[in-house]
Amino acid sequence: MTTESHSAQDWYRVAQARPRLRREATVRRHLYLGRPWYILSDQTGTKVHRLTPAAQEIAGRLDGATTVESIWQQVAADLGPDAPTQDEVIQLLTQLHQADLLDSAETPLLADLLERRDKDRVQLWRKMLMNPLSITLPLLDPDRFLQVLCRVMGVVPRPAWWLAALALMLWALVRLPLHWQALANRGLEGFLDLENLGLIALVYPVVKALHEIGHGVAARSRGGEVHEMGLMFIAFYPLPYVEASSSLAFPSKWDRAAVAAAGVVVELTIASAAFLLWTVAEPGLVRTILFNTMVVSGLSTLAVNGNPLMKFDGYHVMCDLIEIPNLSKRGNAWWGEQLRVRLLGTAERPRARMRTVAWERWWFLLYPPLAFVYRIWISLTIALFVAGTYRAVGVLLAIWSLVLTFAWPAAKVAHQALTDQRIRRAGPRALAGAGGAGLVLALVFLALPLPHHAMVQGVTWLPQEAFLRAPQPGRVIAARAADGAEVSAGTPLFTFDAPELLAEARIGEARLIRAEAEFAEARTTDRASAERLRARIAEARAARDTAAANLADLDLRAGIAGRLDLPDTTDPLGRFYRRGEVIGHVLPGTPPLIRLVVPQDLAELIRSETRAVDVRLASDLSHRLGARIVRAVPAGEDQLPSAVLSLDGGGPYATVPGDELRSVTRLFQLDLALEEQPAVPHYGMRAHVRLTFAPKPLAVRAARALRNLFLDAFDV
């Protein structure tokens, strides 16, 4: 190890300092994947730092008498290439100093305190500006209250609480499928309306307070210190939080995970109880409050707080259980190292490179990109959901989320690339590697056409001519063809008896005769009356002719050639039908149509860019049928062609309660013509359709997707 390889630009500022760890600072040794880490905390346990063995060698020698330069030289002599660099020593001293874990006679304490306080204020405001979805505000010390609560809850053994919560959640999970359709129909429509926000304002603080009390009780019952409770604003909603970081010092990973998971368990238990009560509650205020409780304690927990891809409770539980602390930060550092070494060609000494085992490398490889994608999705989802009710707020959130997700990280990477000495020393190779990678990514994103397709569901359908509808209201008095018979176009199938039509025709004929007689009498005596009677004659003649035409239309004929298909449970003979009511169908020998209903954005894409269509019928999913678009209805509607496309029927579309064919969203209808006859051409069968579109670059597709999202959310 050479001094040159370890030198830092600001080393002279700390080299002769003689810092000392505060007497109340405690150090605990933990094992992660069989390797030691050291936990350094203050007396209250609220300020906790994980140190590597090399960092602990430095921290353990801070005795107030030895200079930093001497300590570093001693550690360098003991550890050799594994010794920390001067930059790492400075970073360690800075972290300990900011956590008030150091005493130093050379530091003007008052000036330093004021400087640190101002810096903390700047950092707080910077955090608020950088992430308006997450702001914290400390309020009180809950330790004494938690001590009392732990004594009260200690009457019941700790495992019994966990088993009771698990039993309640399992009970709710078993009953969930029975009420899924009701939940889907209810949806989140109107959730952010002002009337409902008043109820949420009552429910939300209570649920989140219980969540945080769960953290506090779990930590305090295991000997941890809890001295801070406050509010954390997520998407402008206040969530109470408890600072239970003292649990990081627990030697058992199960204890640490239990503290992190306690809040999630409390919320899911509340959500389960609310769901079970919601299933039996009558419509009204109580049922609305229970639904709101399910959303704020269940949906938000699964999507945000309990999700390991977000850096909240679920993330900390996962880190403890897999024994990889600081997974997100270390994973990002690992990716940065791989890019520097493999892409930019930087020469990094062995100690500077991260030492990992195979278990860690898999997590470092997969977790950062998955978390990145999920956080983009959840940020935009929250923004668009808010925009559905409060458009301006949603627009600002969406724009800010995109800036923080793409523009800010890109700026940080560019800054690091320009200032990192390792990249500078790599010289032309780093420049070529960065430029080449950037060019390739730009070409892939902006210019490379990539395959594009969509999967939708439809039903086998018939042309309008195939439907047999009653021509007039009446009773079937004769059937000219049997079910299953082959018929030709125009063949009479059923004859109707319509006494009402016959009566109308006779009344019309009588009115015409009377009007003609009155006209003949008035023509010689009262010319003014004669003119009025002339008009009455014209009306009576039109009514008579209409009735006569209806009487002549009492024979129902086949509109196309094919096989007569009647419902199995219906015998038309002697039955009364309303005008237009479907009696049966004539199944043509040609392949059936496939009727689709799709959202507006997909309908536009299908009409303009479809290159191929493949269909698989539910009766034979192994056989692929070719198809082509033959009809596209330009206007949207809320009617489904069949109940099999509803959520209740196994389809993708939610329907209005009480009407299995009325969709809650506007859909656009398209008809496909199959290119061959399927083996079982059953009418009304589900069809799985794969639509292949013209290849487009990712940039074009992303722009289209964002445009459709914003147009749909903002109703533009």
Write out pLDDT tens, residues 643-685: 888 877 777 787 877 777 888 778 888 888 888 877 665 677 8
Torsion of CA 630, 636, 637, 641, to 10 degrees: 20
State the Cα–Cα distance between residues 5 and 10, nearest whole angstrom: 14
712/243 Cα distance (integer angstroms): 40
Alpha-carbon distance 403 to 401, whole Å? 5
Instruction: Quote the tokens at residue 601.
Output: 């954005």
pLDDT of residue 608: 82
**Tokens standing for 206?**
């209570």
* pLDDT (0 to 100) of residue 309: 92
Q: Are 378 and 310 in contact (CB under 8 A)?
A: yes
Helix (H, G, I), strand (E, B), or coil: what is residue 637? strand
According to DSSP, the β-strands at 686-696 and 562-565 are: unpaired
Spatial distance between the Cα atoms of 242 and 140, rounded to a whole number of angstroms: 10
Asked if residues 542 and 461 have their Cβ atoms less than 8 Å apart, the reply is: no
Least confident of 112-126, 298-312, 531-545, 576-590: 112-126
- By percentage, how much of the chain surpasses pLDDT 90? 10
Q: Which of 241-255, 481-495, 522-536 has the lowest mean pLDDT?
A: 522-536
Model confidence at 321, in pLDDT bands (50, 70, 90)?
very high
- Confidence (pLDDT) at 118: 46
Closest by alpha carbon to 334, among 305, 306, 369, 300?
369
Split at pLDDT 50, 70, 90, the class of 265 is very high
232 bridge partner residues: 136, 239
Alpha carbon distances (Å) from 497 to 322, 557, 627: 79, 15, 43
Nearest by Cα to 215 from 254, 258, 249: 258
**Tokens 């949420």 belong to residue:** 200
Q: Quick: pLDDT tens for 383-408.
A: 767 765 666 666 677 677 777 776 77
* Category of 235 on φ-ψ map: left (φ > 0), alpha (ψ -120 to 50) or beta: left
For residue 190, the model assigns a pLDDT of 64
Round to the nearest angstrom and report the end-to-end CA distance of the chain: 65
Angle between helices 358-387 and 698-714 (to 10 degrees): 40
Q: How far is CA 571 from the centre of its chain?
A: 49
Mean pLDDT value across residues 25-54: 78
As a whole number of angstroms, the distance between CA 613 and CA 673 comes to 10
For residue 141, name the pLDDT band (cuts at 50, 70, 90): confident
Q: Which of 76-90, 363-377, 504-518 is modeled with the greatest confidence?
A: 363-377
What does the alpha-carbon distance between residue 434 and residue 274 come to, in Å, rounded to a whole number?
Answer: 54
Average pLDDT in the 52-61 region?
85
| Residue 110: per-residue pLDDT | 31
Q: Out of 154-168, 277-291, 466-480, 691-705, which region has the weakest mean confidence (pLDDT)?
A: 466-480
**What average pLDDT does this structure show over 198-212?**
86
DSSP 8-state assignment for residue 62: -
Q: What is the pLDDT of residues 82-120, one digit of tens each?
A: 788 888 888 888 878 777 778 755 544 333 433 444 454
Average confidence score pLDDT of the chain? 77
- Alpha-carbon span 105 to 671, nearest angstrom: 83
- Show the tokens assigned to 192: 């952010």
Of the chain, the percentage scoring pLDDT greater than 70 comes to 74
pLDDT score for 363: 92
Which token pair is 502? 């016959």
Provide mean pLDDT across the span 479-495.
Answer: 76
Q: Which pLDDT belongs to residue 108?
A: 42
Show Cβ contacts of residue 620 under 8 Å, excluding neighbours closer than 6 positions.
678, 679, 680
Check residue 663 and give its pLDDT: 83
| Domains by residue range for the chain, with CATH | 3-128 (3.90.930), 131-323 (no CATH), 345-448 (no CATH), 468-579 (no CATH), 588-696 (2.40.30)
* Alpha helix ranges (H) inside 154-191: 158-175, 180-186
Helix (H) or strand (E) run with residue 404 in it: none
Q: Which of 458, 369, 416, 365 is nearest to 684 (CA)?
A: 458
Residue with the larger pLDDT of the pair 20 and 416? 20
Residue 221 makes CB contacts below 8 A (sequence gap 6+) with: 150, 153, 154, 158
Q: Rounded to 5 degrees, what angle do the CA atoms 339, 340, 343 make?
A: 60
Question: What's the rounded mean pLDDT across residues 173-195?
Answer: 75
- Measured over the CA atoms of residue 443, residue 445, residue 446 and residue 449, the dihedral's sign is positive
CA distances from 13 to 10, 73, 93, 469 (A): 6, 16, 12, 94
The Cα-based distances of 477 to 409, 485, 556, 579, 580 in angstroms read 78, 19, 12, 16, 17
* pLDDT of 626 above 50: yes
Burial class (CB in 10 A: 0-12, 13-18, 19+), 383: buried
Alpha-carbon gap, residue 5 to 234, rounded angstroms: 44
